[in-house]
Amino acid sequence: MLKPRQILGCSFGFVSHRWKPYSNTCTSISTTSGTLSFLSNSTCSNPLLSFSSSSSTLLPATTATWPSSTRRPRFGALSLSSAPSGSNGGGSSSSVAVQSAGNARKINFCQSCGGPTKHEIPDGEEKIRAICTVCERIAYENPKMVVGCLIEHDNRILLCKRKIQPSYGLWTLPAGYMEIGESAAEGAIRETREEACADVEVLSPFAQLDIPLIGQTYVIFLGRLKTPHFSPGPESSECGLFALDEIPFDSLSFSSMVVTLKLYVEDVRAGKIKFHYGTINKRPGTSPSDSHAYTLDYHLQS
Ligand SMILES: [Zn+2]
């Protein structure tokens, strides 16, 4: 799930969402050469267990293929259990709190004791912090990490169409906030399971993209489908595989997704997948909802 207040890529807005049990009816997808077949009436009771294949023509398990002209990055594959981690289990996930860019003056009560806060610069520090007037706890604000997977299968990329705000109806890589108690890779696997009902293996890190303006860091992994099964989770209206020249760049949800996919396409075209670090900054004077109104700064690549 990805529900940040994404200044760069979508409209403003606070979204509070409680994860729902996996009881929705999913639409299975069978991938065939060149086309997608959207099959219905396959009930997805537990995405961890994939789907009933009685009504679908799912292909045999295969491994994702890498473009023949592309040299895979030199990272060891990381196999992680797709079992849920932490106390949330598979049936719940974070109710994502919107991460602001950091404004201590908006914190009026202590999260520890509920006491009122004052807003001052603590001794030895430089920034104004919200300080509890009762227990003196300082409310430090730190960036949130968003984790996700870029999955290539049959030379196509798995994207999800968002069924929630913000960026309803736009396409995204499966991604969402990292949870306490899980690693970034585990979080990326979990988010992919939740949004695309897909069981994936993380292969390597692909990009770390910082967005200082809104206090977020994206960590996107390359991954592969363990089985060729995926379908929309509760927060996705569709999932699909897109050839590189079919990626809907004009309908992507967030600047982070635009950057990630552009870098990936460039790497594939150049025949070498790299690891990228960069900072996404909004171009001054541009619309907050324009996911293309960014600059990629401090771009480092392996
Ligand atoms: Zn307090």
Domain CATH for 108: 2.20.70.10
- Residue 131 alpha carbon to ligand 1 centre in Å: 8
- Could you tell me if 219 and 132 lie in one domain? no
* DSSP bridge partners of 71: 272
- Residue 182 alpha carbon to ligand 1 centre in Å: 28
- Could you tell me if 256 and 123 lie in one domain? no
**Residue 49, domain extent:** 25-95+143-301
- Residue 124 alpha carbon to ligand 1 centre in Å: 20
> Does residue 14 lie within any of the structural domains?
no
- Could you tell me if 78 and 147 lie in one domain? yes
- Could you tell me if 184 and 90 lie in one domain? yes
- Residue 123 alpha carbon to ligand 1 centre in Å: 18
- Could you tell me if 212 and 132 lie in one domain? no
- Given a contact cutoff of 8 angstroms between Cβ atoms, the answer to whether 250 and 164 are in contact is no
- Residue 127 alpha carbon to ligand 1 centre in Å: 19
- Residue 138 alpha carbon to ligand 1 centre in Å: 8
Q: How far apart are CA 31 and CA 241, in angstroms?
A: 8
Name residue, tokens 């706890």: 137
- Could you tell me if 75 and 169 lie in one domain? yes
- Could you tell me if 52 and 193 lie in one domain? yes
> Does residue 203 lie within any of the structural domains?
yes
Q: Name residues whose C-beta falls within 8 Å of residue 150's C-beta, 6 or more positions apart in sequence.
A: 157, 173, 206, 220, 221, 222, 223, 260, 261, 264
Handedness of CA 31, 37, 41, 47 (dihedral sign): positive
- Residue 154 alpha carbon to ligand 1 centre in Å: 54
- Could you tell me if 133 and 272 lie in one domain? no
- Residue 217 alpha carbon to ligand 1 centre in Å: 28
Q: Name residues whose C-beta falls within 8 Å of residue 287's C-beta, 6 or more positions apart in sequence.
A: 293
> Does residue 3 lie within any of the structural domains?
no
- Residue 141 alpha carbon to ligand 1 centre in Å: 15
Q: How far apart are CA 16 and CA 27, in angstroms?
A: 25
- Residue 247 alpha carbon to ligand 1 centre in Å: 49
List per-residue pLDDT tens for the chain, 302 residues long. Answer: 544 433 333 322 233 332 223 333 333 333 333 323 232 323 333 333 222 232 222 223 233 333 444 444 433 333 333 333 333 323 333 323 334 456 888 899 999 999 999 999 999 999 999 999 999 999 999 999 999 999 999 999 999 999 999 999 999 999 999 999 999 999 999 999 999 999 999 999 999 999 999 999 999 999 999 999 999 999 999 999 999 999 999 999 999 999 999 999 999 999 999 999 999 998 888 877 788 888 999 999 99
> Does residue 12 lie within any of the structural domains?
no
* Gyration radius from the chain CA atoms: 20
Other Cβ atoms closer than 10 A to 96: 20
Q: What is the pTM of this model?
A: 0.68
Angle at 233 between CA 231 and CA 237, to 5 degrees: 80
- Could you tell me if 45 and 154 lie in one domain? yes
- Could you tell me if 163 and 265 lie in one domain? yes
> Does residue 46 lie within any of the structural domains?
yes
Count of domains forming the chain = 2
- Could you tell me if 152 and 123 lie in one domain? no
